[in-house]
Amino acid sequence: MELDYLLKFMAELAANNTTAWMAAHRPEYQRARAACTELVRQVLARVATTDPDLANLTTADVMFRLHKNDRAHRDPEPYKRRMGAGLKRGGRHAPRAGYFLAIQPEGKSWLGAGTFHPTPEMLAAIRQEIHYSGEEFHRLRQAPGLLRYFPDGLDTTGPQLTRPPRGYAADDPDLAWLRLKTFGAGRFYADAEVLAPGFVNEVVAGIAAAQPLVDFFNQALPVAE
């Protein structure tokens, strides 16, 4: 598994992010893609044994495209600066909570757990689950196992409502959480950590630690087939 080559390629792409450069370096891209695919394959094989939601997924189901799908007019770069996958039942774009692994140089490789771009319907369902089961939610988000691998816990720095969601009181004790527009925890890895022999073990352990919280979110959502 050539993760060193993958990091090197992504660094070169960041410095030469054009379609012309990519066309001239297609074999190098394919080699880097193969390295990332092997990483994801190994992670999937391990986590599928303990998480039924991830059973029977293939790398094709979960790997993200490198090409940006919807570029903003001011964004001149056609390719993402990271390569990775979204591990969740139904595949990378399913309306479910899951796990996200991205490889990016300069300490920006990342593991995320939860849902970072939920639809309005998903948000409504998760907020209701928190409202109905607040004690369980707080126990899971503060679990020592989760915080060992995601020291910052559930992210509260992202986008959120300025007012209470419709149907919730301004004095709701969980209002700070109900206002969130994303529900996920994440952590970065230094390049040396990515290249260490135990990197797959570390990712698998992080996913296992986050599984109870991810399951909590998913129990509020329809099953993706």
Model confidence pLDDT, tens digit, residues 180-203: 999 999 999 999 999 999 999 999
User: Residue 35: is its pLDDT beyond 60?
Assistant: yes
pLDDT of residue 69: 75
- pLDDT bin (cut points 50, 70, 90) of residue 1 is confident
Per the model's pLDDT, the better-predicted residue between 73 and 24 turns out to be: 24
Q: DSSP alpha helices (H): ranges in 72-119?
A: none
Give the domain extent around 141. Answer: 3-218
In a domain, 69, yes or no: yes
In a domain, 224, yes or no: no
In a domain, 158, yes or no: yes
- d(C-alpha 104, C-alpha 127), whole Å: 32
42-76 residues labelled b (16+ CB within 10 A) or e (exposed): bbbebbeeebebbeebeeebbbbebeeeeeeeeee
In a domain, 87, yes or no: yes
In a domain, 73, yes or no: yes
Residue whose C-alpha is closest to residue 127's, from 115, 109, 139: 115
In a domain, 225, yes or no: no
Token pair of 78 as six digits: 């056609």
Domain tally, the chain: 1
In a domain, 223, yes or no: no
